Structure 1
Amino acid sequence: MVLAGLGAFLASLDVVVVATALPTLRVDLGASLSDLEWTINAYNLAFACLMLTGSAMGDRFGRRRIYVVGLAVFSLASAACALSTGADALIMARTVQGAGAALVLPLTLTLISDAFPIEKRGAAIGVWGGITGLGVAGGPVLGGAITEGIAWQWIFWINVPIGIAVIPACMLWLRESRGPRPHLDITGLVLVALGLFALTWAPVRAPVVGWSSLEVVGSLVAGTLLMVAFLRWERRVPHPMLPLAYFRLRGFSAANAVIFFQFLSLLGALFMISQLFQVGLGNSPWEAGLRILVWTGMPMLVAPIAGALADRLGAKPFMLSGLILQSVGLGWLAIVAEPGVAYGTLVPSLVIAGAGIGMIFATTASAATSAVPIDDTGVAAGTNTALREVGGVFGVAILAAVFAHYGGYASPEAFIDGFTSAMWVAAAVPLAGVVAALFAPSRSEGTHPTQLRR
């Protein structure tokens, strides 16, 4: 749990650690709004596109081995991020860092699930959700403190000694295991990676070239065709990397849809809220990180409790409640945000939204993994996390586009105008997830298939 938890913490931390450093990066590196999006989205793009690849490689070559390789890639890329002297170099290094995280994160859940009996898996995954929540909670605070107290480069340097310490410990204490597929599905890996890349490239580029541009429309069409080709291939390959029969399981499908919409809202909101406290309200990076903590810290408190209760009550009520709370909290924030607003006015909305996020973090992962055979936990975790990160990429791009259309950085007032419009979108998105959550099975309808493979 400790060694896998550290990997989960690092991978989730670096999704958001740059959030409170964005205004500093804008000044120090001369970064544009598009560049700022890319410092987050480059990581998430590689993370999302290679997530299933990481799971499949772990099944084929050994989960411990690929986990260690992922940690090494992640640590080296973190050093490259710290050494970057321009926005382009930072974005390239963040892409490689995301690729390393894609090997790490799905295997953390596999390693944890392998270490606990099925009756305790929900609680263990709840702890995993709390650890990833700690990464989300600690990211803005740690990023703000380091950016203000030392330099923004050190938000990446801190990963290096942790990686150096964890890698040999994993080699000594983690047992090796493999999945049920004796062959690596190379064609499937290429199709899904290219398909996800094309689908996520479109929203990233849309704010710059326009949603109706040939580049964006062509990317969406290409991504859709590649994903259709991937699904057709998976139907007939002897050892599919993603058995399509799993999507007939309501628990698996509902959990994946819920996490997509939830993270679309969450990461887009984080992109804007981290800037609200600095650009809109004039706080320092450290002060902004502390103020965000009432929001991002809630998953650390709520996720372990929700994960444990979901073992008895099922995941459905927590997914529904979490999405509704997230929507209510962000909508409340849109209502009360104004130039010079007192921090105390913002706290209730942030707490409510954060509690909702915590309910979803653990229960969606538990619902997706418990619906499939235990040998395919990594596949389920990889699918769930890939859709989560794809949602995050869409969220940052869409909310940034809404912000740019209705506001800007010209003044605090202009920033609040754009921020308010973006928050209304962030509040509406979880309601689409509610529709998906309604189709999730109750606890009594859950299943643990042992033969579904195709």
Structure 2
Amino acid sequence: MVNDAGGTAPGASQAAAGGSGGRRLALAAMVFTVAMVFVDQTIVSIAAPSITEELGLSSSGMQRVVNAYLLALAAFFALGGRLADIHGHRRMVVAGTFVFVVSSVLCGSVPSGDLAQTWLVLFRATQGLGAALVFPAALAVVVAVFPVDERGRALAVFYVLAGALTALGPLLGGWLTAWTWRAVFWVNLPVAVVALLLTAFAQFPDARRRERLDAPGAVLVATGLGLNVLGLQQASSWGWGSAATWACILGGLTVLAVFCRYELRTAQPLIRLRVFRDRAFTADTLVLFFATLAFVPVMFFASVYAQVSLSASPHQAALYVLYFFAGFGLAAQWGGRILDKRGARPAMRLGTALACAGFALWATRLTDLSAHDQWPYACLAGAGIGFLLSPASTDAVNRAIGASYGEVTGITQTVRNYAAAVGMAVFGTVLTHVTTDRVARTLTAKGTPEDAAHGLARGIAERVTGHPDDHVPTGDGPTATAMRHAIQDIRLDFAEANRWVFYGMAIALGVAYLCTLLHPGTRVTTPSGRDPVRTSEPVPAAAPRRTRRS
């Protein structure tokens, strides 16, 4: 069976997967393949203080290292999806894995000195490029080999296992950092070997589309996203009144507007924007955008908060972040079941509401400086994200009827990774500004002259991924004495700054809840083994279940 774009239809894909055993093997292969992508979203956050200290990076510099990976993912994800459609999913999985693992080895081999930050940013970006080639192809394989009425559970397993690997990242990062932070990059090499072996043995369809690649569209979207996030990221250094800040932000938005206009007019676009005419798809995408503003950044900010304000070791910080993933893992399976039985809207509403409440309550306890008092709220926030992530992603992909799954996963994952990069940039700016203001007030109250206090506060905020003790001047002068007396207050100042960040995450989830109200409540089903169709929600309990699978 061939669809209107020249690709393999869903039924044929599922048949080609070799039955339920073949589907499970394909799922296992793809989960292991994307393990590196998910682990790298958290493992580097744990190592951030050690990287900052050894290489002499500033806080904004370290955030650029983290964001280079996220931004490359966002900029090239749609391109990765289209390349997978044109050249085949298996080929892109293998090619992306090689790019990713070579970049990882180079990241771990960064030299000390002035070149360090540029080196890390460059090869973190190429890591992101490799991930952008791997992930849409892997996700499209899972979507293609499972029928629609099993897809919710399959993708829930995919995201739970991937989430478990993401949660493993902090633990692994804490253990490896105790040896050397460079190992957090080198660990991707053995994972890549296993992933390639599983991919070689897995049987799954590898259909290709005879279409040209939209190179101008790829350049426009990468340029627009890059400029926009660069402006948001540099606002803390350049200032919000800087012409350069607004030139990047507005210039990026202008290029993205040109990209949308171009895509609507070209015959074979990188992204078929007509899919946004589906109100449910638009609602799903908006929910994913606002939820991901918090989901990925929370790993970085929670880890650094634990190491600075709670004086935690990297391993202890990893356990702190695991509170969030414990809730995520428990709720993700339930979210998939709700999707299969009732559709995406109930799961998304429940998830956004729980996550909003969880982040808000978590924020209120950050200044207690006690991890023991925070774990219920961290779990609640994670559970909310777990409930909504798989349903929103799966419902959006299910609406790729008559289109390619690689293309639609490219759209949704581009939105998610762009949101993650924006969240890192915006929340990082908030953290730097609030930390600077509060630390300056603390130092002034302890007897430091106002001019000196502001300069010291700025230095601490820029090096906030290290411990405040590292910035105490030597000697017995009034400034050094004031700094030593202010250390505990500075830890509290940093916790207070993080409260603003976590309240911002709660607001993002509140907006995501409002976006769920746009969802019409329609579902995608496969009655009698035919092609997917949309039906109204809720589905009667006595509705006949499909007995034959194509």
The TM-score bracket by the shorter chain reads over 0.9
Can you list the C-alpha shifts for 1:130-151, whole angstroms capped at 9, x where unaligned?
Answer: 1231233122222112112x21
2:235 counterpart of 1:206: yes
The correspondence for 1:281, drawn from 294, 298, 310, is 310
Instruction: Please give the alpha-carbon distance, in whole angstroms, between the structure 1 residues aligned to 2:236 and 2:416.
Output: 21
1:348 is aligned to: 376
In structure 2, the CA distance between the partners of 1:249 and 1:189, relative to structure 1 (3 Å rule), is same
Q: Which structure has the greater CA radius of gyration?
A: 2
In structure 1, list runs of 5 or more residues that go unmatched: none
In structure 2, the CA distance between the partners of 1:261 and 1:179, relative to structure 1 (3 Å rule), is farther
Give the secondary-structure state (helix, strand or coil) at the position aligned to 2:374.
helix
Shift of 1:444: 4.9
Equivalent residues of 2:366, 2:496 under 8 A apart: no
The correspondence for 1:108, drawn from 138, 154, 171, is 138
2:206 is aligned to: 177
2:400 is aligned to: 372
Matches within 5 A, 1:55-94: 55-85=81-111, 86-94=116-124
Which range moved further: 351-360 or 21-30? 21-30
In structure 2, the CA distance between the partners of 1:294 and 1:380, relative to structure 1 (3 Å rule), is same
The correspondence for 1:426, drawn from 505, 526, 530, is 505
The correspondence for 2:46, drawn from 17, 20, 26, is 20
Which amino acid in 2 is paired with 1:23?
Answer: P
1:164 is aligned to: 193
Matches within 5 A, 1:92-241: 92-148=122-178, 150-178=179-207, 180=209, 182-241=211-270
1:441 is aligned to: 520
Can you list the C-alpha shifts for 1:233-265, whole angstroms capped at 9, x where unaligned?
Answer: 222222222222210112211111111111112
2:413 counterpart of 1:385: yes
Instruction: Please give the alpha-carbon distance, in whole angstroms, between the structure 1 residues aligned to 2:524 and 2:29.
Output: 34
Equivalent residues of 1:8, 1:104 under 8 A apart: yes
In structure 2, the CA distance between the partners of 1:212 and 1:367, relative to structure 1 (3 Å rule), is farther
In structure 2, the CA distance between the partners of 1:321 and 1:179, relative to structure 1 (3 Å rule), is farther
In structure 2, the CA distance between the partners of 1:449 and 1:249, relative to structure 1 (3 Å rule), is farther
Matches within 5 A, 1:253-264: 253-264=282-293
Matches within 5 A, 1:30-49: 30-49=56-75
Number of residues paired by the alignment?
Answer: 448
Which amino acid in 2 is paired with 1:51?
Answer: F
Query: What TM-score results when the alignment is normalised by the length of structure 2?
Result: 0.78
The correspondence for 1:270, drawn from 277, 295, 299, is 299
Q: CA RMSD for the aligned pairs?
A: 2.0
Which amino acid in 2 is paired with 1:59?
Answer: D
Equivalent residues of 1:126, 1:362 under 8 A apart: yes
Instruction: Please give the alpha-carbon distance, in whole angstroms, between the structure 1 residues aligned to 2:210 and 2:334.
Output: 34
2:348 is aligned to: 319
Shift of 1:449: 6.7
Give the secondary-structure state (helix, strand or coil) at the position aligned to 2:367.
coil
Give the secondary-structure state (helix, strand or coil) at the position aligned to 2:46.
helix
Q: Identity of counterpart residues, as a percentage?
A: 28
In structure 2, the CA distance between the partners of 1:69 and 1:270, relative to structure 1 (3 Å rule), is same
Instruction: Please give the alpha-carbon distance, in whole angstroms, between the structure 2 residues aligned to 1:269 and 1:405.
Output: 18
Which amino acid in 2 is paired with 1:39?
Answer: V
2:273 counterpart of 1:244: yes
In structure 2, list runs of 5 or more residues that go unmatched: 1-26, 436-460, 469-489, 527-531, 535-550
Equivalent residues of 2:33, 2:196 under 8 A apart: no
Which range moved further: 53-62 or 2-11? 2-11
Shift of 1:423: 1.6
Which amino acid in 1 is paired with 2:62?
Answer: L
Shift of 1:68: 0.8
Instruction: Please give the alpha-carbon distance, in whole angstroms, between the structure 2 residues aligned to 1:399 and 1:131.
Output: 28
